[in-house]
Amino acid sequence: MEKSPFEDKPAGKVYLIGGGPGDPELLTLKAARLLATADAVVYDNLVSAAVLAHSRDNAERIYVGKKAGNHALPQLDINKLLVTLALQGKQVVRLKGGDPYIFGRGGEEAETLHHAGIAFEVVPGVSSASGAAAYAGIPLTHREHAQSCFFVTGHLKDETCNLDWPTLARPGQTLVIYMGLTSLPDISRELIAHGMDPATPAACIRRATLPDQKTLTGSIADLPEKVAAAGFKPPALLIIGSVVSLHARLDWFTQDPAA
């Protein structure tokens, strides 16, 4: 059998890194250091250009981003790519928006690396939820508004949005929905049908933490119509709950300081 050219080369290492929600200043020191020394950077659609700029000029950059209905590379192929690059002896950064273990498929990639015997580390990042909420002036928890917080995805593996609606519709909590913009009309209808007050405040945040961030607020009943009228497109994050009512007072990021 023909010998692989990489058979005698020590395997490299893969770093599953959270690139944060977009603002490059939210990148962790460890993430910036590893980016600056990586041989190869495998990055997602949600990684901002300013974050990617922290990688070295001669690094191999491989785009594997996913958009609705358009995947540059299927997830199984991404998993194989990480193994292949490491077997070539490269130090590999798998760069994701937000945090790799919060709806970032980092767990699937880590399992693949483990089974292949590839060394890896996970570098957490500021999640899209915490970044979007902070920059929109919406605290995810607040003693007077929410005593718990749920992170859910509005886009399941089987393409449905079949969630635990009775639990999610309860009062006294904050609901953060990733990848829920396309399903927003269904989400609104199901939450109200399962007991959520139609007047519950809700927000849609697009391009969170970036200079062109847009935050649209309303109620869970009328937010779908407002989002459609505004022409919002993915990616965007939904936040639902009483805490959204604080946005008008706590929006430090987009408010006119002279106002």
Active site residue 66: yes
Of these residues, 44, 90, 96, 99, which one is catalytic? 44
Active site residue 212: no
What is the 3-state secondary structure of the chain?
CCCCCCCCCCCCEEEEEECECCCHHHCCHHHHHHHHHCCEEEECCCCCHHHHCCCCCCCEEEECCEECCEECCCHHHHHHHHHHHHHCCCEEEEEECECCCCCCCHHHHHHHHHHHCCEEEEECCCCHHHHHHHHCCCCCCECCCECCEEEEECCCCCCCCCCCHHHHCCCCCEEEEECCCCCHHHHHHHHHHCCCCCCCEEEEEECCCCCCCEEEEEECCCHHHHHHHHCCCCCEEEEECHHHHHHHHHCCCCCCCCC
Omega of the bond prior to 100 within 30 degrees of 0, cis?
no
* 106-116 and 75-87 helices, crossing angle to 10°: 40
Active-site positions?
Answer: 44, 66
